[in-house]
A and B are shown apart, each in its own frame.
Chain A
Amino acid sequence: MQNHFPVWKNILVLLVFGIGIIYSLPNLYGDDPSVQVSSTIAAAISQEQANQVEADIKTMGIPAKAFEFKDGKILARFTNTDDQLKVADQLRDKMGSNYTVALNLAPTTPAWLRSLGAQAMYLGLDLRGGVHFLLEVDMDAAVKQAEDRYIDDVRLSLRNAKLHYQSVAKDSGFIKVALKSVDDKAALLTLLDKEFHSLEITEPEAQEQVWLKFSEKEAREIKKFAVAQNMTTLRNRVNELGVAEPVIQQQGENRIMVQLPGVQDTTRAKEILGTTATLEYRLVDVEHDVQQAIGGHVPVGSRLYYDRSGAPILLDRRVIVTGDQIVDAASGQDEDGRPSVNISLNGVGASKMAKTTQVSVGKPMAVVFIEYKVETKTVNGEKIRHKEKVEKVINVATIQGVFSKRFQTTGLDSPQEARNLSLLLRAGALAAPVDIVEERTVGPSLGQDNINKGMLSFVVGFLLVVLFMAVYYKLFGMIANFALAFNVVIVVAILSMLQATLTLPGIAGIILTVGMSVDANVLIFERVKEEIKNGITPQAAIFLGYDKAFATILDSHFTNLVVAVVLFAFGTGSVKGFAVTLIIGILSSMFTAITGTRMVINWIYGTRRVEKLSI
């Protein structure tokens, strides 16, 4: 029997179909407007706090659809956006700055589907609304900053080694060191070799000079660090915005992509992303009483600060080290396995730190985080931009010994707190400036509009094709239509499984796939018709039709696939979304249009004598 599938093939097709249906199902369920609360500090949200929040929402008199507490995050679902916004506003006031209160669209996928890992497709910004920024890190500035840092360090080392120099200055891409006496040159070279091996040494004709330059590797490191540092800073800032699913990704060598779904107030988003931060190390004033200072009697040499929980603290007016002197901060563990943060300072910072710690062992030292926020406020109908300086004490630690360039902060409550502190320290270190080089904002109404229009044109396009195929190819056409629907289910299921981003061009890609995926069936059916015309029996015609059309389908679909892959490789943003749906559509249509239709045709015609085909 030519037109008979082995059992395994039938099972395979049905299995793929079943899996396709299960994993595309979540897309039929909608979203709940919801409020998500998460902690920005070390301590995660406890069950008691979650209960408290639940009670708070109840007292607001707004009915929550559901209340969930999982992985340290609270999720409250509501029936409409009004309720959601009201609760979010009130919670924001109540929770304070240690918590992020974010608006979110929580999928209503039932538990049994979620337990299978089935999720709805991830909608792109053009469908859900939000902002997309592309930021470019100013690499020249990053290199310049590094050069300045090295110049300070070299000067300091020369001084410490008692080598007298005429000048250490930047000139035509080099850091040029000019000594007072040629006799010191050998000592200088040894010093450079010992302390600055990341710099390449050139010896010019002038005997008393040595020229320094970053090695290729060092220059790359500097650039890499500049991007990494900016990304950590951005992550911190985005947390403040209260975005449920932010995306922060490096793009190319020097660009950072930030996507903030659901954010509408772009002015505020830009302000927060553009905030500049720095930090200061200060000694804690332990001699005076904090309570008196709150009452207005701040001692002359001190200033009153507050920490993140709002507790007051008195600090010395003199700054030990500022953020631009921090070279790196990394969280880790000390010898005893306790969470710690390792900090490296540059030369200037190191000598200042050494001077202070020499006389202050046993005293507490505080880190103050300073942000300059730009805020636009409306006063009497006029928009006024003003810069606000926000200072917060983020850490207090006791000086255990004399240290300078490298030191460690311990006594932190958890690894998470260590990580946060290192993030903040890095955020406060002087980062290379960034520019917004691309911005795309989509309002929520347009996003919904795009979804609706995409859906409508999909449904209409689909029905037109179905009608056309049924009229022209009769029963065979209906079988092709079944394969077509099967194809759409698989495309949606794969998109959902991959959590690939669905964009408006992506929807257009699915629609286009609907039009093109019947091509394989048209090829086969035309071939079957041809064979029948040549006087071959219906059974043999089916067999030969599929057989002969196969090579053609393979060749023609493959060229299409090549183009789609190239499009994926070079496309950006929404265009990539189009390429993804096209690629998946082409591949799955080959399966559905060839194997899927064949299975059904075999069921109908395969086991009996056939006089005439309904084609």
Chain B
Amino acid sequence: MKTTNINFIGNRNIALIFSGILMVISIGSLAVRGLQMGIDFTGGTLIEVGYQKAADLNVLRNTLDTQGFDDATVQNFGTAKDVLIRLKPHEGISSVDLSAKVLEAINKTTAEPASVRRVEFVGPQVGDDLAEDGFLALLYSTIAILVYIAWRFEWKFSTGAILATVHDVVVTLGLFSILGLEFDLTVLAAVLALIGYSLNDTIVVYDRIRENFRALRNKTTEEVMNISVNVTLSRTIMTSLTVILVLVSLFFLGGEIIHNFSIVLLFGVFFGTYSSIFIASPMALMLGISAEDLMIPVKEGEVMDDRP
């Protein structure tokens, strides 16, 4: 790959407008449609059963309806032979019996008994706790990173990096909301991993900007940034490609349970790469970053000595 010379910073407004639109759509969808929270966070019961032949979902739905589980949602999971049944928390029946009752009910009507692949029950209180822990994890990791980058670099970079990362997370969650995909614990883990990845990408660019601020003293801030983004471009793309390769493998071969996990990361890596090229540096620029912010501090006495 030859070193490119694309004017990323000069044309930053195009990217910023594009990102702005993405953000508005994402936040809009998150506000209106919200995220489809999995039972990890809402509480409830989930039963995955497998059949030898393709299952007739309508029969299953009718059975559950007539047996008093009218809130059950029934859908295929991965293949036509696998069925996922979801139930909201039930007041009257104890959790212990619920899954057994449901299985009993569906086994009455189907010719072939269902083989249970997995049962998950999460109490409402546990769901709340998991949601709280998840939120705290997001909050603390954001704070930890803000502090680390502010210490290693400078607060304008730190803020820029966080803004770029927030952008990636919001847009990814927005897509999740628009597509109506289920948000569960594994997806949350993927979102956190995405934060790590997106930052990693941004830091590499920032690192080069810092180095070039010191090396290329006669260039403007904009020029330094442009050069830095361009020289790191091939690395940014290469790394994203290798990660995308493994994620594609995980998406197609990893099975249904890991599907949403890989989708988050695929979206995330895509946007993380985009934002570290187009968004992160303009953000720092707009916050007023300049070469002086990153000069190695010189002791006052030494400055005096420099003068002839």
Specify whether A and B are partners: yes
Contact between B200 and A454 (Cβ–Cβ < 8 Å)? no
Q: How many angstroms between the C-alpha atoms of A468 and B254 in the bound complex?
A: 21
17 further interface pairs, Cβ-Cβ under 8 Å (given A436-B123, A522-B238): A439-B121, A440-B118, A446-B118, A456-B253, A461-B249, A462-B246, A464-B245, A464-B246, A504-B258, A508-B254, A512-B193, A515-B247, A552-B208, A555-B203, A570-B136, A575-B186, A575-B188
Q: Collect the chain B residues with CB atoms within 8 Å of residue A556's CB.
A: 199-201, 203-204, 207
Interface residues of B in 244-291 (CB under 8 A from A): 244-250, 252-255, 257-258, 261-262, 265
> Which stretch (B9-17, B138-146, B173-181) binds chain A?
B138-146
Contact between B253 and A457 (Cβ–Cβ < 8 Å)? yes
- B243 at interface, CB cutoff 8 A: yes
- A450 at interface, CB cutoff 8 A: yes
Contact between B246 and A560 (Cβ–Cβ < 8 Å)? no
Contact between B231 and A530 (Cβ–Cβ < 8 Å)? yes
Residue among A512, A559, A567, A574 making CB contact with B246, cutoff 8 Å: A512
- B113 at interface, CB cutoff 8 A: no
Q: Collect the chain A residues with CB atoms within 8 Å of residue B250's CB.
A: 457, 461, 508, 511-512
Q: Collect the chain A residues with CB atoms within 8 Å of residue B149's CB.
A: 559
- A569 at interface, CB cutoff 8 A: yes
Contact between A566 and B137 (Cβ–Cβ < 8 Å)? yes
Q: How many angstroms between the C-alpha atoms of A582 and B261 in the bound complex?
A: 14
Question: How many of chain A's residues have a CB under 8 angstroms from any CB in B?
Answer: 75
Q: How many angstroms between the C-alpha atoms of A461 and B204 in the bound complex?
A: 24
Contact between A505 and B199 (Cβ–Cβ < 8 Å)? no
A-B contact list, 16 entries, CB within 8 Å: A270-B96, A438-B126, A441-B118, A442-B118, A446-B118, A458-B249, A462-B246, A464-B245, A472-B238, A511-B250, A515-B246, A526-B234, A560-B200, A563-B193, A572-B133, A575-B185
A437-B125, A460-B249 known; A519 vs B118 contact (CB < 8 Å): no
- A584 at interface, CB cutoff 8 A: no
Interface residues of B in 92-111 (CB under 8 A from A): 95-96, 99-100, 104
Q: How many angstroms between the C-alpha atoms of A509 and B252 in the bound complex?
A: 16
Q: How many angstroms between the C-alpha atoms of A560 and B145 in the bound complex?
A: 9
Interface residues of B in 205-243 (CB under 8 A from A): 207-208, 211, 231-232, 234-235, 238-239, 241-243
**In the complex, what residue of chain B is closest to A517 when comparing beta carbons?**
B242
Shortest A170–chain B CB gap in Å is 26
Interface residues of A in 515-545 (CB under 8 A from B): 515-516, 518-519, 522-523, 526, 530, 533
Contact between A136 and B118 (Cβ–Cβ < 8 Å)? no
- B183 at interface, CB cutoff 8 A: no
Contact between B122 and A438 (Cβ–Cβ < 8 Å)? yes
- A62 at interface, CB cutoff 8 A: no
Q: Collect the chain A residues with CB atoms within 8 Å of residue B238's CB.
A: 472, 522, 526
Shortest B26–chain A CB gap in Å is 21
Residue among B119, B253, B262 making CB contact with A439, cutoff 8 Å: B119
Contact between A522 and B239 (Cβ–Cβ < 8 Å)? yes
Q: Collect the chain A residues with CB atoms within 8 Å of residue B253's CB.
A: 453, 456-457, 460
Contact between A440 and B242 (Cβ–Cβ < 8 Å)? no
- B50 at interface, CB cutoff 8 A: yes
Contact between B148 and A572 (Cβ–Cβ < 8 Å)? no
- B168 at interface, CB cutoff 8 A: no
- A332 at interface, CB cutoff 8 A: no
Q: How many angstroms between the C-alpha atoms of A462 and B265 in the bound complex?
A: 17
Q: Collect the chain B residues with CB atoms within 8 Å of residue A408's CB.
A: none
Q: Collect the chain B residues with CB atoms within 8 Å of residue A522's CB.
A: 235, 238-239, 242
Interface of B is mostly: helix
Shortest B165–chain A CB gap in Å is 10
Q: How many angstroms between the C-alpha atoms of A449 and B253 in the bound complex?
A: 11
Contact between A563 and B118 (Cβ–Cβ < 8 Å)? no
Contact between A567 and B192 (Cβ–Cβ < 8 Å)? yes
A465-B242, A533-B3, A574-B185 known; A566 vs B192 contact (CB < 8 Å): yes
A441-B118, A464-B249, A523-B204 known; A508 vs B144 contact (CB < 8 Å): no
Q: How many angstroms between the C-alpha atoms of A446 and B189 in the bound complex?
A: 21
Contact between B255 and A505 (Cβ–Cβ < 8 Å)? no
**In the complex, what residue of chain A is closest to B251 when comparing beta carbons?**
A457
A511-B249, A574-B185 known; A560 vs B116 contact (CB < 8 Å): no
Residues 564-600 of A, flagged 1 when their CB comes within 8 A of B and 0 if not, give: 1011011111110011001000000000000000000
For the complex of A and B, 6 pairs with smallest distance between CB atoms: A563-B196, A461-B249, A461-B246, A570-B137, A515-B246, A437-B123
- A160 at interface, CB cutoff 8 A: no
- A172 at interface, CB cutoff 8 A: no
Contact between B254 and A563 (Cβ–Cβ < 8 Å)? no
Q: How many angstroms between the C-alpha atoms of A443 and B204 in the bound complex?
A: 44
A515-B245, A569-B137, A572-B130 known; A562 vs B207 contact (CB < 8 Å): no
Best-buried of A136, A435, A440, A519 by chain B (most CB within 10 Å):
A519
- Report the contact-size class of chain B (Cβ under 8 Å from the partner): 35 or more
Q: How many angstroms between the C-alpha atoms of A436 and B122 in the bound complex?
A: 9
- B197 at interface, CB cutoff 8 A: yes
Contact between A563 and B48 (Cβ–Cβ < 8 Å)? no
Q: How many angstroms between the C-alpha atoms of A545 and B155 in the bound complex?
A: 28
Q: How many angstroms between the C-alpha atoms of A147 and B242 in the bound complex?
A: 63
Residue among A458, A469, A519, A555 making CB contact with B152, cutoff 8 Å: A555
**In the complex, what residue of chain B is closest to A455 when comparing beta carbons?**
B253
A461-B245, A515-B245, A567-B193 known; A441 vs B120 contact (CB < 8 Å): yes
**In the complex, what residue of chain B is closest to A274 when comparing beta carbons?**
B96
- B134 at interface, CB cutoff 8 A: yes
- A558 at interface, CB cutoff 8 A: yes
Contact between B239 and A136 (Cβ–Cβ < 8 Å)? no
Residues 547-561 of A, flagged 1 when their CB comes within 8 A of B and 0 if not, give: 010011001111111
Q: How many angstroms between the C-alpha atoms of A73 and B208 in the bound complex?
A: 61
Residues 374-397 of A, flagged 1 when their CB comes within 8 A of B and 0 if not, give: 000000000100000000000000
Shortest B293–chain A CB gap in Å is 17
Interface residues of A in 295-317 (CB under 8 A from B): none
Contact between B186 and A562 (Cβ–Cβ < 8 Å)? no
Q: Collect the chain A residues with CB atoms within 8 Å of residue B232's CB.
A: 526
**In the complex, what residue of chain A is closest to B185 when comparing beta carbons?**
A575
Contact between A266 and B186 (Cβ–Cβ < 8 Å)? no
Contact between A439 and B120 (Cβ–Cβ < 8 Å)? yes
- B90 at interface, CB cutoff 8 A: no
Q: Collect the chain B residues with CB atoms within 8 Å of residue A558's CB.
A: 148
Q: Collect the chain A residues with CB atoms within 8 Å of residue B55's CB.
A: none
Q: Collect the chain A residues with CB atoms within 8 Å of residue B199's CB.
A: 556, 559-560, 563
Q: Collect the chain A residues with CB atoms within 8 Å of residue B257's CB.
A: 126, 450, 504
Interface residues of A in 270-327 (CB under 8 A from B): 270, 274
Interface residues of A in 89-130 (CB under 8 A from B): 126
Shortest B112–chain A CB gap in Å is 15
- A514 at interface, CB cutoff 8 A: yes
Residue among B136, B141, B207, B265 making CB contact with A563, cutoff 8 Å: B141
Best-buried of B123, B203, B246, B249 by chain A (most CB within 10 Å):
B246
Q: Collect the chain B residues with CB atoms within 8 Å of residue A575's CB.
A: 185-186, 188-189
Residues 2-25 of B, flagged 1 when their CB comes within 8 A of A and 0 if not, give: 010000000000000000000000
- A445 at interface, CB cutoff 8 A: yes
Best-buried of A526, A564, A573 by chain B (most CB within 10 Å):
A526
Q: Collect the chain B residues with CB atoms within 8 Å of residue A190's CB.
A: none
Interface residues of A in 463-499 (CB under 8 A from B): 464-465, 468-469, 472
Shortest A151–chain B CB gap in Å is 30
- A267 at interface, CB cutoff 8 A: yes
Q: Collect the chain B residues with CB atoms within 8 Å of residue A435's CB.
A: 123
Shortest B132–chain A CB gap in Å is 9
Q: Collect the chain A residues with CB atoms within 8 Å of residue B3's CB.
A: 530, 533
Contact between A562 and B126 (Cβ–Cβ < 8 Å)? no
A383-B104, A519-B242, A522-B235 known; A446 vs B48 contact (CB < 8 Å): yes
**In the complex, what residue of chain A is closest to B262 when comparing beta carbons?**
A508
- B33 at interface, CB cutoff 8 A: no
- B115 at interface, CB cutoff 8 A: yes
